[in-house]
Amino acid sequence: MKSVAIVGAGPSGLVAAKTLLHSHPLGTFQVSVFEQTNSVGGLWAVEANPDHTLINPDMSTNLSQFTVCFSDLAWDTLELKPAPNAFPKAWQVNRYLECYAQKFLPDTIIHFRTKVKFAERIQLGWRTTLTDLETGGERVEIYDYLLVASGLFSEPAPIRFNFDDIALGKNPVPILHSSEFRKLGDLSLTGQQPSKGRILVIGGSHSGAEVAAGIAMQMSDARYSTNGSGIQPLDVIHVAPHPISAIPPFVQPRNGSPPTFLPLDTLLNDLSSRKDDPISFTFGHLTPEKTEQRRIMLDRLVKGANDEDKNSDERKEDASSSEGPYAVVSDHYAGFVASGAITPLLGRVTSVAHQRDDAQKTTGFVRAKIAQSSSDIEVQDIAAIVNATGFSASPALSFLSDDVKHRLGFDASCPRLPLLLNSDASTSSDAAPNNLALIGFSYGSYWGIVETQARMIAHRWYLDDHHIPRQDKSRENEKSKKIYTFITELRTMMKDDPSAVAQNFLGDYPGLMEECFRHLNLQRVDLQYGPKAGMVSPARYVDNGCGRAEAEKTMSKIQKMQDASANHSAFAARAAFTALHGTWKAKSKGYLDPVFDLLPLMATFHPRRTTAVGFDAEYLFLLHNKTEPKPSGQSSASKGEVERRMYRLREIDNEIEVWTADHPTAEKMLLKLEFGKATAHEYEKSLAVTNSTTDELATYKFTFSGVQVPRFKISVSSKTGSIEGGSELEFSR
């Protein structure tokens, strides 16, 4: 029996421990897991101390539950209340990992509040010095193998801009990392919501877009909730070194007629899109052709547009952009940008300084210099800075010697690629000791990838321990050399010209999963799929230690989901609801007081926190008349607010409900739109949903282009014919 020390009890550490214990004959490995905190979950351990974790407990994952899972534990097995939507909340992921540990790992193998202070390579294995964080005591233990699963996201990266005239530690405005933001009071030195100035968000990754949208959402809620502060939202300036393309979690697979919707990752990871046979892991540098293909794909997803549909200005803008757009998954980022709540700026923040008045006195704000491609610009009146430029992996590797880190190609100055791991699915390097492995240290480490990495590590160590020669060793070595050349070139490019590096430079998730499936001789769980069709999910590949029934439960749910999308408009309610965000031009025909007929109206959907239990999202809908109507009979209509409603989403039920707004004692539902009963209008690429009340039929007709809704219409008619010709309220962008 060989002993293994695993550092970290996050997803990577848990699946590694489970794989070593269950996927090989009993007694092959003896496992000890060391975790500094008092709970499993790593980054996802948000419930034990929600205010001091790197992510918000209510944050939704940006990948669906069919990607954020392991092969032998289906989400439905947990029976969580409330049940997770397609994209679970962080606290639900925390519960999933707790359940996974309870199901597969003996309590005695996880040592909480224990830090690996030092791991020294010796002839017989690894001499580990362990610190008990409760007592401060130390002990030394010897292990045959060392598996590092402490991850890339161990500590926020340091600030990368200069302070011109600001003393160290005496910031005149809050400067915080994106992982520290929880509430608007965090953006003020007083702890209260700021009411003046601008908020500067720095960083072009998913976390940058996420925190910018999160701040804008909380400000919208504070302004438009009944118990909010009423403070007018401040401008959010989002600085990123590349264009951002925000995609909502649900997209149209084909942008066809009728509109259908699926989680984004079911489309991106569909095996039917692959032309290689057998499907294998591919990689390569960014080229102009790849950049253009990416732009076209994102345009089709977001706008439903082909390049020939663009006007000349849009084509010129594409041609002038040297960097391909970074894709981020967000429900509301694009809506806040379109409404002006978020202003994106291309460039890099180089310095921050006091803002001074004409008498050279400080104003309480700061100003930031931003380097752009042709010149520098300055942003003033900054009340707070949120740094969303990533994390440092250095603390996660502090217990390794300089010699071992050198063998792993460690470079602290390159946070996107801190290690040069080129062999066994990025778990080791050619120069690293055979009894050392790392898991989850590559960007884009989906849960399926870390489970595959765990299998590769266990397989390699099992063969080494039993002196079994590895098959296709020469082919593996050849590919490892190519990967090493590629990643060393990438690291140089990241320092010299970051714009030349792709967003997901080792992101061929389907290719890696399929290649490792063959290498490890795993079992497939295809069910109704063919071997080159359908979504890649961890549940699609199982080994001898996996419960196949759990994998089949997940795969069956995926296939039922796709059937519901095609035949019952599944997820259409959320897709339509997301697209409502922002400002619309509106025109009434008999829907309102006759004086408003054909007058230009303006409608706004303001997102805010849900004000009732059981809903997933909510808008305050305001309809305004922008002109004085002509006198007409006894009408009391005037310029200003015409209608106020609440729109509420029930995602699992695939429904949108419309309620009276902000009348707690008399709040009532006006209508319910059941998208499972929607009628498709093929040539218009639209869905019509009818609500039946006692005496009227209200039909909402949403016309889709990609994930966007450029127009929708409310039509009201009478069952008895008492409303002659019916009435309409049309909306357009």
Q: Letter for the amino acid at 309?
A: D
418-463: pLDDT as tens digits? 999 999 989 999 999 999 999 998 766 689 999 999 999 999 999 9
User: Is 10 a residue whose pLDDT tops 80?
Assistant: yes
Tell me what pLDDT residue 628 has. 58
Q: What is the pLDDT of residue 498?
A: 85
pLDDT at residue 381, as a whole number: 96
Task: Give pLDDT, residue 65.
Answer: 97
Mean pLDDT check: name the lowest of 244-248, 639-643, 709-713. Answer: 639-643
Residues 527-563: tens digit of each pLDDT = 999 999 999 999 999 998 888 999 999 999 999 999 9
The Cβ of residue 580 has, within 10 Å, a number of other Cβ atoms equal to 21
The whole-angstrom separation of Cα 326 and Cα 132 is 43
C-alpha 422/C-alpha 411 separation (Å) is 15
Residues near 692 by beta carbon (within 8 Å), at least 6 away in sequence: none
- For the whole prediction, is pTM greater than 0.95? no
Does 720 have pLDDT greater than 60?
no
User: In three state form, how does the secondary structure of 121-150 look?
Assistant: EECCEEEEEEEECCCCCEEEEEECEEEECC
Mean pLDDT in the chain? 89
Structure confidence by residue, pLDDT tens digits, 612-639: 999 999 999 999 987 755 554 444 444 5
User: Domains in the chain, start-ordered, CATH in brackets?
Assistant: 2-155+392-567 (3.50.50.60), 158-244+330-389 (3.50.50.60), 572-732 (2.40.128)
User: Which residues partner with 680 through β-bridges?
Assistant: 687
The winner for highest mean pLDDT among 232-241, 307-316, 586-595 is: 232-241
SS3 388: coil
Sign of CA dihedral 69, 74, 75, 78: negative
Write phi, then psi, for 53 (nearest 5 degrees).
Answer: -110, 165
Would you state the pLDDT for residue 318? 47
**Where is pLDDT greater, at 346 or 311?**
346
Query: Cβ atoms within 10 A of the Cβ of 535, count?
Result: 26
Distance, CA of 540 to CA of 526 (rounded, Å)? 6
Side-chain-side CA neighbours of 219 within 13 Å: the count stands at 24
- Could you tell me which residues come within 8 angstroms of residue 316 by beta carbon, excluding any fewer than 6 positions away? none
**Cα angle at 347 between 186 and 194, to 5 degrees?**
20
Comparison of pLDDT for 156 and 218, the residue scoring more: 218
Cβ proximity of 537 and 448 under 8 Å: yes
Of 74 and 318, more confident: 74
For residue 376, give Cα distances in angstroms to 349, 366, 370, 373, 668.
10, 17, 6, 8, 53
Q: How far apart are CA 280 and CA 509, in angstroms?
A: 10
Report the pLDDT value the prediction gives residue 54, as an integer from 0 to 100. 79
Determine the Cα–Cα distance for residues 583 and 577; give it in Å rounded to an integer.
14
Name the least confident of 31-40, 520-529, 720-729. Answer: 720-729
Contact yes or no for 555/568 (Cβ under 8 A): no
Q: Confidence band (pLDDT; 50, 70, 90) for 681? A: confident
Q: Look at residues 160, 161, 159, 157 and name the one whose alpha carbon lies nearest to residue 351.
A: 161
Q: Summarize the confidence of residues 596-609 as an average pLDDT.
A: 89
Per-residue pLDDT tens over the stretch 384-420? 999 998 888 888 999 999 999 999 999 998 888 999 9
pLDDT at 473: 79
Under 8 Å between Cβ of 168 and 28: no
Residue 262's nearest CA partner among 570, 581, 707, 650 is: 570
3-class DSSP state of 378: strand
Q: Which pLDDT score, from 0 to 100, does residue 320 have? A: 46
Return the sign of the alpha-carbon dihedral for residues 402, 404, 406, 412. negative
Give the start-end residues of each E strand in 553-654: 582-589, 601-608, 617-625, 640-650
- Residues near 315 by beta carbon (within 8 Å), at least 6 away in sequence: 307
Nearest CA to 236 out of 120, 384, 400, 84 is that of 384
Q: Which pLDDT value is given to residue 665?
A: 65
d(CA 640, CA 628): 9
Cis bond before residue 278 (omega within 30° of 0): yes
Answer for the pair 381, 372: CB distance below 8 angstroms, yes or no. Answer: no
Contact (CB, 8 A) for 559 and 528: yes
Nearest 5°: phi and psi at 71? -65, -30
